[in-house]
Structure formats: structure tokens, C-alpha cells
């Protein structure tokens, strides 16, 4: 049986957190939530790394930027893809997040469809961006079902993009 | 005397049908936040206005209520510069907009 990707959602705005949980579960992901930076930082030290982190840039107690640094400095979590999610689309903030190790940056104005699209790109990168294009010969349907996270290179967060 | 919204003033917002269970709470909470911001403005608490408006900006975008997000962004920016006249002008616009929303789930 195919195992669900576990997604850690760090989001303090309750309605947005509810929506993300709803959308992600509908899309077949398993969801772990942290409502502020303090909860998230505790998780980073105590639970197994998820498949991906959706990290709000502005959260109470420990900021998104600080959490990103904690993730990148943690031996078990350091290769976990992190998508920064923000209500702001200020260019320097986006560039800074990507420099600090964010895998992608998505603005909330893009809605849930934009976020899911970015997640799919991160979790299932196109074959052309993988180091070993062994999946090229497989039929499309089979390729979609492959657990691509296992094939992700150790530096998967290096494939950076702003959405 | 306040008039009931006319048919022309209804604001139709199309939302993903699967969001239907979440939207009533979303709209109720935005109305509460307008009250919170109004009270904060009365005491010149611009930080609270900014924080609440920032959250509303993101939530509005996430749910597909783009106009809510736009108005919240203007209020957030005004709060950053302690521009009370802009907030006084746009909070009632936001409040009225929220009252006029008719959601179509599709």
C-alpha cells in the first residue's frame, strides 16, 4: 500500500490552518499541524521529519525564518523540503527565504490550487530535474505512482522556486 | 436609515464547493475581526490592526475571497504607517463588503 506523504503545516491563522488541513487531506496527504513557532520548534526536535513542511513566514514566538534555520541545522530534518507560505509577495522577503534554504515560496493569494501545484512540483519534481532520469522510459501513469520522495536527492531543497 | 442591500450591491464570490463547511465560520470570523480592528483603532492600537489585517489578507487569499484580501492589505499597510484616516475609510468598506457577499459553491 502506498504510504501517504506527511505534511507539517505551520500556520497560526485558525481558518487558514483549517482550510489547509481540509485541502491537503482531500488531496491524500496526512497532516500534522503547529499553530505557532514554539510548537513547531518543539516538533523539529522530537518527531520524525515529514515529507514536506508548509511554513507560514509570520507566526508567533518563533518566526518562519528562524524555524527554517532550525530545520536546516537539524541533522534529521535538514533535507526536508520547505515551502514558505505568506500573505506577502515582497521580493526581498522571497529572495531571503530562498537564500536561507526554502525550497519554494508561495503567496496565499494564489489560493489552495497554487499551493497544491507547488507541493506537487516539490514532491514529484519533473524527471528532467532529477539527477538520474531512470523514470523517463516508464509510462506516464506508472511514473505518477512512483514514490518519488525516495528518489529525491539529498539536496532536494536546492531545487528552489518562487511561485 | 440603513437600507437593505439592493440586488445590484450583492457581491457574488465563487468558491470551491468542498470549502462549503468551512466558509460560514470564515465569514463570521472576518466580521468579528472588523470589530476587533475598529476597537483597536479607537485606542490607536495600530499593531493589533496590522496583525489582524495581515491574517485576514492571507486567509482571504487562501479561501478565494480576493476582495477581502485586497481591502485587508490596504488596512495592514495603513496600520504600518499609523494612517488612521485610511483605516477609518476602509474598515466600513470591508464591513459592508462582507455583509453583501453571496457565496456560490462550484
Q: Does B20 touch chain A (CB under 8 A)?
A: no
Helix axes B23-42, B46-63, angle to 10 degrees: 160
Of A22, A110, A111, the CB nearest to B22: A22
Terminal-residue alpha carbon distance, chain A: 32
Q: Does B95 touch chain A (CB under 8 A)?
A: no
Length of chain A: 163
Q: What is the pLDDT of residues B26-41, one digit of tens each?
A: 999 999 999 999 999 9
Q: Is A82 helix (H, G, I), strand (E, B) or coil?
A: strand
Which residues does B98 contact at the CB level (< 8 Å), separation at least 6? B27, B30, B31, B34, B68
- With a cut of 80, say whether residue B6 has pLDDT above it: no
Percent of chain A with pLDDT over 70: 75
B36 vs A19: CA distance, rounded Å:
22
Q: How high does pLDDT run on average in chain B?
A: 93
A36 vs A145: CA distance, rounded Å:
34
Burial of A99 (0-12, 13-18, 19+ CB in 10 A): exposed
Residues from chain B contacting residue A19 (CB–CB below 8 Å): 19, 22, 26, 59, 62-63
A56 vs A34: CA distance, rounded Å:
10
- With a cut of 90, say whether residue B80 has pLDDT above it: yes
Q: What is the pLDDT of residues A63-109, one digit of tens each?
A: 999 999 999 999 999 999 999 999 888 889 899 999 999 999 999 88
Please state the ipTM of this predicted complex: 0.89
Residues from chain A contacting residue B73 (CB–CB below 8 Å): 87
Of A15, A20, A58, the CB nearest to B29: A15
Of A12, A56, A108, the CB nearest to B61: A108
Q: Does A20 touch chain B (CB under 8 A)?
A: yes
Q: Is B1 helix (H, G, I), strand (E, B) or coil?
A: coil
Task: Split chain A (163 residues) into runs of 10 and give each run's mean pLDDT.
Answer: 86 96 94 97 95 95 96 97 92 92 92 89 74 44 44 49 59
Residues from chain A contacting residue B19 (CB–CB below 8 Å): 19, 22
Amino acid at each position: 500500500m502506498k504510504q501517504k506523504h506527511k505534511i507539517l503545516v505551520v500556520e497560526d491563522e485558525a481558518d487558514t490552518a483549517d482550510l489547509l488541513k481540509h485541502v491537503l487531506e482531500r488531496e491524500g496527504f496526512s497532516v500534522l499541524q503547529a499553530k505557532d513557532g514554539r510548537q513547531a520548534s518543539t516538533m523539529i526536535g522530537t518527531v520524525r521529519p515529514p515529507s514536506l513542511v508548509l511554513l507560514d513566514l509570520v507566526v508567533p514566538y518563533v518566526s518562519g525564518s528562524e524555524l527554517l534555520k532550525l530545520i536546516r541545522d537539524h541533522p534529521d530534518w535538514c533535507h526536508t523540503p520547505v515551502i514558505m507560505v505568506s500573505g506577502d509577495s515582497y521580493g526581498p522577503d522571497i529572495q531571503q527565504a530562498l537564500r536561507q534554504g526554502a525550497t519554494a515560496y508561495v503567496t496565499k493569494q494564489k489560493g489552495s490550487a497554487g499551493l497544491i501545484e507547488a507541493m506537487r512540483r516539490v514532491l514529484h519534481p519533473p524527471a528532467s530535474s532529477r539527477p538520474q532520469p531512470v523514470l523517463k522510459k516508464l509510462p506516464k501513469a506508472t511514473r505518477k505512482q512512483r514514490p518519488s520522495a525516495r528518489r529525491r536527492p539529498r539536496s532536494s531543497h536546492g531545487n528552489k522556486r518562487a511561485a | 436609515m440603513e437600507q437593505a442591500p439592493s440586488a445590484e450591491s450583492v457581491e457574488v464570490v465563487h468558491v470551491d464547493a468542498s470549502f462549503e463547511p468551512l466558509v460560514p465560520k470564515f465569514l463570521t470570523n472576518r466580521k468579528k475581526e472588523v470589530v476587533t480592528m475598529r476597537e483597536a483603532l479607537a485606542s490607536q492600537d495600530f499593531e493589533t490592526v496590522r496583525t489582524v489585517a495581515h491574517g485576514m489578507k492571507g486567509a482571504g487569499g487562501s479561501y478565494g475571497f480576493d476582495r477581502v484580501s485586497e481591502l485587508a492589505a490596504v488596512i495592514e499597510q495603513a496600520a504600518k504607517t499609523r494612517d488612521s484616516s485610511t483605516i477609518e475609510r476602509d474598515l466600513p468598506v470591508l464591513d459592508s463588503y462582507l455583509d453583501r457577499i453571496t457565496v456560490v459553491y462550484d
